[in-house]
Structure 1
Amino acid sequence: MFGIHDLALFVVSGLLLNIMPGPDSLLIMTRSATQGWRAGVAAALGIGAGVFVHVFAAALGLSAVLATSATAFTVVKLAGAAYILYMAAGLLMSKKRDDAAVRVALPALPYRKIFAQGFLTNVLNPKVAVFFLAFVPQFISVDAPNKALAFILLGCIFNINGTLWTTGLALFTAKASQRVKLDPSLSLWLNRATGGLFVWLGVKLALAKQH
């Protein structure tokens, strides 16, 4: 159908790739644990929206620029790394609240801003574009009648499955954080540890090579 082959293998591979921990999972879990499941879902939806940008851009051939132009790749890569480091700074500077009813966490944000965080962490990550260009075409036949349509269809399947996973992750994290009450000092250090991991991810992205 549409020149797509091994669809079941694509779905399983995509799910395994989505389950692998990364900055998306960290953002969702942090927001769910500190602000509730709605905040985590907002982050998940933002991430999904950002991935859709890469899917359609790659299908139209726009993302090929990131794979062939060192300058374009470097500019977008550094912008993405800077944004991840910006979020890391917020985590590292989190403070312990005096209010015992409120767990130590990032300051509460409007859901639209959390959505924007998830969106930008993906749109500003050129590795996502390169990933789609490298992974998705493996499941499209050389003689496919409409390669762009096949690419969009596979990209949508991958992203919808990923969004379902991240939404479930948001719900699970929020539920777990309600049952497991952490000491404020421990919560504070967990936030800082997560911030440190974000620093590592941002530096790793900044140092990523095009090929």
Structure 2
Amino acid sequence: MTEFLPPWPLLTAFVLASLALAITPGPAVVYIVTRTLAQGRQAGLASIGAVALGNLGNAIGASLGLAVLFSVSALAFSVVKYAGAAYLIWLGIRALRGGAAAADGGTVEAAPRSLRQVVRDGFVVALLNPKTAIFFAAFLPQFMNPAGSALTQSLALGVAFVLIAATTDACYVMAAAAVMPALRRAGRARALGRYLTGAAFIGLGVFTAASGSRAAK
């Protein structure tokens, strides 16, 4: 068992540290809450699964050494980072254009109508964030047993962190879904939601592009 998991004291410390990090709102929480307010609880839950899959991909990448590549190659890091930032900004512009088209009597929607599109967007946004892989590479080794297998321990801890984060994200979705009916009853709430969605995505894209290599969830 020591090959796959760290000893219980380290594992307990890992769970507590992961829970503290997961509860702290970050770009992923903003993205998921924004999607919930724009499209409802089902879209928010779908976004959680998509972001979790993207984060899991980064955890696996960190375990296989891709984080090392990102940490030593400024070009590789920048290419992936700016691709993710551009995708977020594109989502924001699409939301704003959708709101303008609806105001003019058009039929363009600000947000994807299908859960497949929601899952695709969340997965791409999470996966195209090299800072997540670097975060895993820096965070997970602190809780690993040197006598055990580094690969299996990092994979196990990465999966555990993703599950913990998904659980706390679900709490944010439920809270956002609870206040959504009140927001919808407010005047012009739907149009305001479009603009808030667009602004949030563009803001996240700018934040991603401008931030350095150190970032958590």
Is TM > 0.5 for Structure 1 vs Structure 2? yes
| 1:126 match | 130
CA pair 194-9 structure 1, distance change in 2 beyond 3 A: farther
| 1:34 match | 38
| 1:67 match | 71
In the TM superposition, residue 17 of structure 1 has moved relative to its aligned partner by 1.7
Which stretch has the larger CA shift, 175-184 or 53-62? 175-184
CA pair 7-145 structure 1, distance change in 2 beyond 3 A: closer
Q: What is the correspondence of 1:91-170 to structure 2 with a 5 Å cutoff?
A: 91-95=95-99, 106-141=110-145, 143-170=146-173
| 2:16 match | 12
Tell me if structure 1 keeps the 8 A contact 2:23–2:168.
Answer: yes
In the TM superposition, residue 71 of structure 1 has moved relative to its aligned partner by 1.1
1:96-131 Cα deviation digits (max 9, x unpaired) = 868xxxxxx834421111011111111101111111
1:155-210 Cα deviation digits (max 9, x unpaired) = 11100011112223223322221244443434433542443343232122213334
In structure 2, C-alpha distance between the alignment counterparts of 1:62 and 1:50, rounded to whole Å: 14
In structure 1, C-alpha distance between the alignment counterparts of 2:183 and 2:209, rounded to whole Å: 35
Tell me if structure 2 keeps the 8 A contact 1:24–1:118.
Answer: no
In structure 1, C-alpha distance between the alignment counterparts of 2:74 and 2:117, rounded to whole Å: 31
Amino acid at match of 2:161: F
Amino acid at match of 2:92: A
Structure 1 residue ranges without an equivalent (≥5): 99-104
Tell me if structure 2 keeps the 8 A contact 1:3–1:147.
Answer: no
Structure 2 residue ranges without an equivalent (≥5): 104-108
| 1:207 match | 210
| 1:52 match | 56
Matched, 1:89 2:99: no
Amino acid at match of 1:167: A
Which TM-score applies when normalising by structure 1?
A: 0.85
Percent sequence identity is 30
| 1:101 match | none
CA pair 140-166 structure 1, distance change in 2 beyond 3 A: same
Tell me if structure 2 keeps the 8 A contact 1:39–1:111.
Answer: yes
For 2:66, what is the secondary structure of its paired residue?
Answer: coil
Count how many residue pairs are aligned between Structure 1 and Structure 2.
Answer: 204
